[in-house]
Amino acid sequence: MNGPGGIRRGPDGMMYVNHGVNPLASGLSGGGIMRFDPTAAEPEPEKVVEGISGLNGLAIDADGNFSLGREFAAGVLKIRPDGTKDEAWTAGRGPDDLTHFDGDLVVAGFRDGELIRVDPATGRSCVLVAGLRMPTSVRVPWGFGGHDPRSELFVTEASGRVVTVRVGR
């Protein structure tokens, strides 16, 4: 697998990895999504989606829909559990990474320094936080001591700084 980008546990307990992060590198024939059983003694990767280059961020909702950030793309690509693309909605603003939070999708907008909240059903979006410095990853703080996963997010920036963002309800 060339250029792995994101890894997430799916609602089925399988681990999903997207690959093909650098579409400009020679020798890459495209990217996609693989999965494997993390409980297997010798996990065997299985192709789930093929033929999409530049995949970076990955989130999976409770229904098994994949939300993918793509290098050099203007928005988020949604792939249904059956492998079909739903490109009717995007989050825009140069997405890098994404996660599910409080029923919505939160996208790290690298170029504009924003966290964008997206309704996964409609694709409608709004800026949740502005003023970040090249955010590269966003995560819900599950199991991090006194941090509240219902109202906080962790954001890493290209500088290496980790920021805690408090989200009002």
Ordered structural domains, the chain, with CATH: 1-83 (2.20.25), 89-169 (2.40.10.500)
More confident site: 39 or 24: 39
Give the pLDDT confidence of 85-105 residue by residue, as tens digits: 876 655 457 677 888 898 898
More confident site: 89 or 55: 55
Torsion of CA 28, 31, 35, 38, to 10 degrees: 50
Give the pLDDT confidence of 106-130 residue by residue, as tens digits: 988 888 899 999 888 887 889 999 9
Other CB atoms within a 10 A radius of the CB of residue 14 amount to 19
- Is beta strand 95-101 parallel, antiparallel or unpaired with respect to 55-60? unpaired
Give the residue-averaged pLDDT of 38-64: 88
| Mean pLDDT, rounded, of the chain | 84
Report yes or no on whether pTM surpasses 0.75: no
